[in-house]
Amino acid sequence: HRFNSKIIRLKGRIISFNQNLSSSSSSSSSSVPSRDRCPLARGLESMAPLVRSVEETPDPIPTTITGRIPSWVNGSFLRNGPGKFEFGKDRYTHWFDGMAMMHRFHISDGDVTYSSRFLRSDSYIHNSEKNRIVVSEFGTVAMPDPCKNIFARFFSRFQIPKATDNASVNFVKYKGDYYVSTETNYMRRVDPQSLETKEKVDWTQYIAVNSATAHPHYSRDGATYNMGNSYGKGGFFYNIIRVPPPDETAAKADSPDFAGAEVICSIPAAEPRKPSYYHSFVMSENYIVFIEQPIKLDLLKFMLYRIQGKSFHKVMIWEPKYDTIFHLVNRHTGKVSKVRYRAAPMFTLHQINAYEDNGFLVMDMCCGDDGDSIGDFTLENLRKGSGEEMDKFYNSLCRNLPRRYVLPLTVDQKTPLDQNLVTLNSFKATATMTKPGEVRLNLELHDDELLQYGGLEFPQINYEKHNGRPYRYFYSCGFGNVFSDSLLKMDVHTKELKVWRYPGLYPSEPVFVASPQATDEDDGVVMSVIITPREEKSTFLLVLDAKTFTELGRAEVPVNVPYGTHGVFNEMG
């Protein structure tokens, strides 16, 4: 595990690298895959204990506090992720397939309680009733009922299965209500205090989309924006969705409210038979950017995958022969820019932030140069043994790293060809109009210093104050193993990096919570759930001072928690 003992010993010190950005057009390292530039890991420990089924804790239990959790932190840290990986003798194939488990760390006046519940989705209930997997997931195809005769089992393969409502990706909000979400057309409303499962919500009953992401954006007027697919005789479209703020004059009903939801823009797929997969999108104060990346969905295989017995992740194909296309949309009018912004092939799951600056849109995001990695996170791979087996798997993975792209917003017929249009000081990203109506983007790249941490993912910012606006800091996870083994704070102005890293401890996505009297962007705390494969029931909630990135306190809870996905802080909890 200690493949870089120098960095492991840092434990929160500041590492400064003021020259960490370089233009991809002039950097020879940018053409080399990130995994080939990372130090080879040796002696990694197995992650198997972090991807096993656990029991729920429906009634809140106390935690043991070490240090001090600020008394002003009052609310609930909510986390989501897979928590059950088998039913009877049936086993799931992919990490994404596990049944959704919700976790709640409730914080009040320096004390913390913990509770958890499995989402009572239709998938969970039907699987439990049959004691086998009867609902297909991302990487696991449900087998025909063995009680049926041979002809019924054969013909059942020709039935396209219904989408799962196993919403294990994130907690999201619409009109003040909390939902757990995945990437199908289904969500589940939940009680953020009791974690009780409530109504099942089908997007298709409100607007003409067949799915939606688990990463919506929230505007300052209370509206929620998301993206979803639609397909039919007219082709395949990427749709921008707007759900309006709650009507403050109307009586609040205890039921889902999507009145006024609308599609404000539909973008046709550049390759109708091979649309792109996407996990999130970009939003600034006035624009939304959809990134059409070369992770393609083979629609022919998608229609036939049931007959072939293949799971959904088998129809996702990394095709770097296609460019990455950035579709720029006015968030207020829904109008798509006629300018086509293109960049070299890359893939992105999570955006850091985007903001407008003197006629340019600056976009920061975590990117990789090999989109095959999504399908690699099978439970078989994640449960490989310590040492050589795990080393080989980890060293084969793509590393995601921060990149900056800059879109010029004032491109017109008078814009000159073949010269850099980016005039912002100290920015090394470039944009060049290669022909009328088409702009080629070259990225600003990190320095190789970040490769010492295995790259980074799960970025978070001071969202309430700085989403869509100029910002200085972001927080993320470093990936020195197949699961994150460090927490990172990046100053995008000075390029300083602060690190929290201890051997054998694996943090969740960090979440920033601002202090009530905050004057600086990083006045507040950063929270993360820490788990370990080395000791049973040794989970704790870590609370860091966001400014110094040093530990303030922790709340130890005697339960096993599997590695999860995303979380939020609910101040009303």
291: tokens are 């990134």
Contact 501, 11 (CB under 8 A): yes
**Long-range contact pairs involving 182-191 (C-beta distance under 8 Å, separation at least 24):** 182/100, 182/214, 183/211, 183/212, 183/213, 183/214, 183/279, 184/211, 185/209, 185/210, 185/211, 185/212, 185/228, 187/212, 188/119, 188/121, 189/256, 190/102, 190/119
Contacts of residue 435, Cβ cutoff 8 Å, sequence gap at least 6: 417
User: Among candidates 196, 168, 172, 190, which has minimal Cα distance to 85?
Assistant: 168
Numbered residues of the known binding site for Fe cation = 215, 279, 350, 566
Return the number of other C-beta atoms located less than 10 Å from residue 402's C-beta: 24
540: tokens are 């704790």
Distance CA 441, CA 406 (A): 7
Numbered residues of the known binding site = 215, 279, 350, 566
Contacts of residue 302, Cβ cutoff 8 Å, sequence gap at least 6: 312, 315
In angstroms, what CA-CA distances link 548 with 162, 513, 553?
Answer: 48, 14, 14
Distance CA 256, CA 523 (A): 35
Show the CA angle centred on residue 123, arms to residues 120 and 125, nearest 5°.
Answer: 50
Q: Is the dihedral of CA 120, 123, 127, 133 positive or negative?
A: negative
Distance CA 297, CA 274 (A): 5
Pairing of strands 64-67, 217-218: unpaired
Which uninterrupted H or E stretch holds 232? Answer: strand 224-232
394: tokens are 């980890």
Which amino acid would we find at residue 227? M
Contacts of residue 213, Cβ cutoff 8 Å, sequence gap at least 6: 181, 183, 226, 227, 228, 278, 279, 280, 281
The β-bridge partners of 80 are 102
Distance CA 57, CA 557 (A): 11
In angstroms, what CA-CA distances link 74 with 71, 109, 174, 513?
Answer: 7, 7, 22, 10
Contacts of residue 207, Cβ cutoff 8 Å, sequence gap at least 6: 228, 239, 241, 261, 262, 263
User: Among candidates 12, 51, 10, 3, which has minimal Cα distance to 454?
Assistant: 3
The DSSP line for 434-486 is EETTEEEEE-EE--GGGGGGT-EEEEE--HHHHTTS---EEEEEE-SSSS--E
Residue 274 DSSP symbol: S
Side-chain half-sphere exposure of 516, counting CA atoms within 13 A: 7
Distance CA 403, CA 290 (A): 16
